[in-house]
Structures are given as C-alpha cells and as structure tokens.
Amino acid sequence: MIILGIDPGTATTGYGVIEKGNSLKMIDYGCIRTTTDCSTAERLNTLDKELSKIIKKYKPSKIAVEDIFFFKNVKTVIKVSQARGVILARAAKTKMQIIEYTPLQIKQAVTSYGRADKNQVQQMVKLLLNLKQIPKPDDAADALATAICCANSTR
C-alpha cells in the first residue's frame, strides 16, 4: 500500500510517500514551494498543480493530511486552512481515502509520546524508515511522519 503524507502550508507544503508492506519503506519526499511575489490565488493554484503531479506519479492508496490543531497567529491559521482546502479538494477528486490526523496523533503514532519535540519525531522517522539521515526540510519530515501515522493506524 502506498501512502502519501502531507504537511500543509502556503509557502511550503511537505509531502512524503511511503510504502507499507511487511515494513515501512520511504519512496520519496520533498516540498512544494511557492513564492511571496505571487498572489494567494496563484500560490494555491501552484499547490494544486504540483500535488496533482505527485498523486499521478505515485498513485497512493491513501492520503494522510495533518490537521490544524492550534495556532497563535490567526493569519497563519487562515493561510494554512486555505492550503488544506486545496489539498483536500485535490485528494477528493482522486477518489482516494483521505485521513486527517492532529499533530498530537502523529507524534503519538511515531514516538509513542504525544508531546514529543520536533527532533524526537525526526529521529523516529529516520529510524522507522531506515534512513541514513533525518529528512530535510522539516516540512518533508513532518509529512513522512504523517504517512507513518496513517500506516500505523491502518490494518
């Protein structure tokens, strides 16, 4: 089973593709980036186009998306919500199963501790996927953690 994990953002959206068989295997990871010199509409359109390419390339069985849990900055939550809307709409068009996880659920699934810090999550992603180094940037590592959460939550 191929799982696409997504860490939403307007400037940077992380993605991680894993395969769940007898063990977990990393297939690909990276980020979809947009620039501040584009309008919000253009940035969201870029996100949609790039995500569509990733879905077509890897044909995941499931798409796992990090949910918004808490933000101190209202402007940030609005921007991330807009990106999540584009991601969820694109995923729905593919007719694939979409599963949303809170950051707490992801940390719990990856580290067995819901309050784990970013480094602990990254170290466990590296370990669980048998990688030589921590995936960079952080958004991609978070997306891989989201995919791992889905894999560990699926029978």
Q: Looking at the annotation, which residues are catalytic?
A: 7, 66, 139
Helix (H) or strand (E) holding 82: helix 74-93
Q: Residue 90 pairs with which residues in a beta bridge? A: none
Whole-number CA gyration radius for the chain: 14
Question: What torsion do the CA atoms of 88, 124, 3, 142 make, to the nearest 10 degrees?
Answer: 20
Query: Token pair for residue 146?
Result: 């989201």
Residue 100: other Cβ atoms inside 10 A: 16
